[in-house]
Amino acid sequence: MKLYTIFFALILSVSLVNAQKAESFGAKIKADGAVNGTTFLKQIDGKDSLAIKISAPIVDVCQKKGCWMNVDLGDGKQMMVRFKDYGFFVPLDAGGRNVVMDGVAFREVLSVDMLRHYAEDGGKSKEEIEKITEPETRLSFEASGVLVYKKK
Protein backbone atom coordinates (compact mmCIF):
# COMPACT_ATOMS: atom_id res chain seq x y z
CA MET A 1 0.00 0.00 0.00
CA LYS A 2 2.84 2.38 0.86
CA LEU A 3 4.33 1.84 -2.61
CA TYR A 4 1.03 2.91 -4.23
CA THR A 5 0.95 6.06 -2.09
CA ILE A 6 4.49 6.98 -3.11
CA PHE A 7 3.70 6.27 -6.79
CA PHE A 8 0.53 8.42 -6.64
CA ALA A 9 2.44 11.27 -4.97
CA LEU A 10 5.15 11.09 -7.64
CA ILE A 11 2.60 11.20 -10.47
CA LEU A 12 0.77 14.11 -8.83
CA SER A 13 3.98 16.12 -8.37
CA VAL A 14 5.03 15.56 -12.00
CA SER A 15 1.56 16.69 -13.12
CA LEU A 16 1.78 19.84 -11.01
CA VAL A 17 5.24 20.70 -12.37
CA ASN A 18 4.02 20.23 -15.96
CA ALA A 19 0.93 22.35 -15.28
CA GLN A 20 3.16 25.19 -14.05
CA LYS A 21 5.09 25.40 -17.31
CA ALA A 22 2.36 27.56 -18.86
CA GLU A 23 0.10 30.38 -17.73
CA SER A 24 -3.52 30.14 -18.86
CA PHE A 25 -5.53 33.13 -20.08
CA GLY A 26 -9.15 33.23 -21.21
CA ALA A 27 -10.98 29.92 -21.61
CA LYS A 28 -9.16 26.96 -20.11
CA ILE A 29 -7.54 24.96 -22.90
CA LYS A 30 -5.09 22.09 -23.27
CA ALA A 31 -2.19 21.96 -25.69
CA ASP A 32 -3.38 18.63 -27.13
CA GLY A 33 -4.08 18.76 -30.86
CA ALA A 34 -2.36 22.08 -31.55
CA VAL A 35 -0.76 22.40 -34.99
CA ASN A 36 2.34 24.41 -35.89
CA GLY A 37 2.35 27.45 -38.18
CA THR A 38 3.32 25.53 -41.31
CA THR A 39 0.48 23.05 -40.89
CA PHE A 40 -1.95 25.88 -40.11
CA LEU A 41 -1.00 27.76 -43.31
CA LYS A 42 -1.68 24.63 -45.35
CA GLN A 43 -5.04 24.10 -43.65
CA ILE A 44 -6.29 27.67 -44.14
CA ASP A 45 -5.12 27.90 -47.76
CA GLY A 46 -8.14 28.83 -49.90
CA LYS A 47 -10.40 29.46 -46.88
CA ASP A 48 -11.67 32.70 -45.36
CA SER A 49 -11.70 31.36 -41.80
CA LEU A 50 -10.83 28.26 -39.79
CA ALA A 51 -11.50 27.16 -36.20
CA ILE A 52 -8.18 25.74 -34.99
CA LYS A 53 -5.67 25.33 -32.16
CA ILE A 54 -2.18 26.62 -33.02
CA SER A 55 1.21 26.46 -31.32
CA ALA A 56 3.66 29.23 -32.25
CA PRO A 57 6.34 31.53 -30.83
CA ILE A 58 5.23 35.02 -29.81
CA VAL A 59 7.04 37.76 -31.74
CA ASP A 60 5.72 40.78 -29.84
CA VAL A 61 2.91 41.94 -27.58
CA CYS A 62 0.95 45.18 -27.26
CA GLN A 63 3.06 47.21 -24.85
CA LYS A 64 0.13 49.21 -23.52
CA LYS A 65 -2.09 46.41 -22.15
CA GLY A 66 -1.12 43.05 -23.65
CA CYS A 67 -4.38 43.19 -25.65
CA TRP A 68 -2.85 41.65 -28.81
CA MET A 69 0.20 39.71 -29.89
CA ASN A 70 1.90 38.71 -33.12
CA VAL A 71 3.00 35.12 -33.59
CA ASP A 72 5.53 33.62 -35.99
CA LEU A 73 3.99 31.12 -38.42
CA GLY A 74 7.30 30.33 -40.12
CA ASP A 75 8.52 31.19 -43.62
CA GLY A 76 8.63 34.88 -42.63
CA LYS A 77 4.86 35.00 -41.99
CA GLN A 78 3.28 36.45 -38.88
CA MET A 79 -0.30 36.61 -37.62
CA MET A 80 -1.92 39.09 -35.26
CA VAL A 81 -3.85 37.55 -32.38
CA ARG A 82 -6.56 39.39 -30.47
CA PHE A 83 -8.55 38.05 -27.56
CA LYS A 84 -12.24 37.17 -27.60
CA ASP A 85 -14.49 39.99 -26.43
CA TYR A 86 -11.39 41.90 -25.25
CA GLY A 87 -11.90 39.66 -22.23
CA PHE A 88 -8.29 38.90 -21.30
CA PHE A 89 -4.75 40.01 -21.99
CA VAL A 90 -1.31 38.40 -22.02
CA PRO A 91 1.78 39.58 -20.11
CA LEU A 92 3.66 42.46 -21.68
CA ASP A 93 6.89 40.45 -21.44
CA ALA A 94 5.50 37.40 -23.30
CA GLY A 95 7.50 38.13 -26.46
CA GLY A 96 9.87 35.28 -27.25
CA ARG A 97 7.77 32.69 -25.43
CA ASN A 98 5.76 29.91 -27.03
CA VAL A 99 1.98 29.98 -26.99
CA VAL A 100 -0.86 27.58 -27.71
CA MET A 101 -4.06 29.34 -28.70
CA ASP A 102 -7.52 28.06 -29.48
CA GLY A 103 -9.93 30.09 -31.57
CA VAL A 104 -10.71 31.20 -35.10
CA ALA A 105 -8.29 32.35 -37.79
CA PHE A 106 -9.64 34.64 -40.50
CA ARG A 107 -8.62 36.99 -43.27
CA GLU A 108 -9.25 40.70 -42.77
CA VAL A 109 -8.42 44.06 -44.30
CA LEU A 110 -6.85 46.47 -41.81
CA SER A 111 -7.20 50.18 -42.48
CA VAL A 112 -4.25 52.58 -42.36
CA ASP A 113 -5.62 54.03 -39.11
CA MET A 114 -5.83 50.59 -37.49
CA LEU A 115 -2.35 49.60 -38.71
CA ARG A 116 -0.95 52.84 -37.29
CA HIS A 117 -2.78 52.24 -34.01
CA TYR A 118 -1.24 48.76 -33.69
CA ALA A 119 2.20 50.10 -34.61
CA GLU A 120 1.90 52.75 -31.89
CA ASP A 121 0.76 50.14 -29.33
CA GLY A 122 3.72 48.01 -30.38
CA GLY A 123 6.16 50.79 -29.55
CA LYS A 124 7.12 51.70 -33.14
CA SER A 125 8.73 55.09 -33.76
CA LYS A 126 6.82 58.04 -35.23
CA GLU A 127 8.82 57.63 -38.46
CA GLU A 128 7.86 53.95 -38.76
CA ILE A 129 4.21 54.77 -38.12
CA GLU A 130 4.16 57.51 -40.78
CA LYS A 131 5.45 55.03 -43.39
CA ILE A 132 2.16 53.12 -43.11
CA THR A 133 0.13 54.48 -46.03
CA GLU A 134 -1.82 51.51 -47.45
CA PRO A 135 -4.44 49.16 -45.99
CA GLU A 136 -3.28 45.57 -45.59
CA THR A 137 -5.00 42.21 -45.98
CA ARG A 138 -3.70 39.70 -43.49
CA LEU A 139 -4.44 36.61 -41.47
CA SER A 140 -5.69 37.35 -37.98
CA PHE A 141 -6.78 35.21 -35.07
CA GLU A 142 -9.38 35.62 -32.34
CA ALA A 143 -8.31 33.48 -29.40
CA SER A 144 -10.82 32.22 -26.87
CA GLY A 145 -8.06 30.79 -24.69
CA VAL A 146 -4.26 30.73 -24.65
CA LEU A 147 -1.44 29.00 -22.83
CA VAL A 148 1.70 31.13 -22.58
CA TYR A 149 4.72 28.99 -21.76
CA LYS A 150 7.36 30.24 -19.37
CA LYS A 151 10.82 30.99 -20.72
CA LYS A 152 13.25 28.15 -20.26
- In the chain the beta strands, taken as DSSP E runs, fall at 22-26, 49-61, 68-74, 77-83, 98-110, 136-149
How many degrees, rounded to 5, is the angle at CA 147 between CA 143 and CA 149?
Answer: 140
Q: Indicate the pLDDT class of residue 19, thresholds 50, 70 and 90.
A: very low
Q: What is 2-149's CATH number, 2.40.50, 1.10.3470, 2.60.120, 1.10.150?
A: 2.40.50
Q: Indicate the pLDDT class of residue 123, thresholds 50, 70 and 90.
A: confident
What pTM was computed for the model? 0.78
Position 33 pLDDT exceeds 70:
yes
Q: Domain limits of the chain?
A: 2-149
Model pLDDT for residues 20-29, shown as the tens digit of each residue: 599 999 999 9
Nearest to 136 by CA among 117, 115, 106, 120: 115
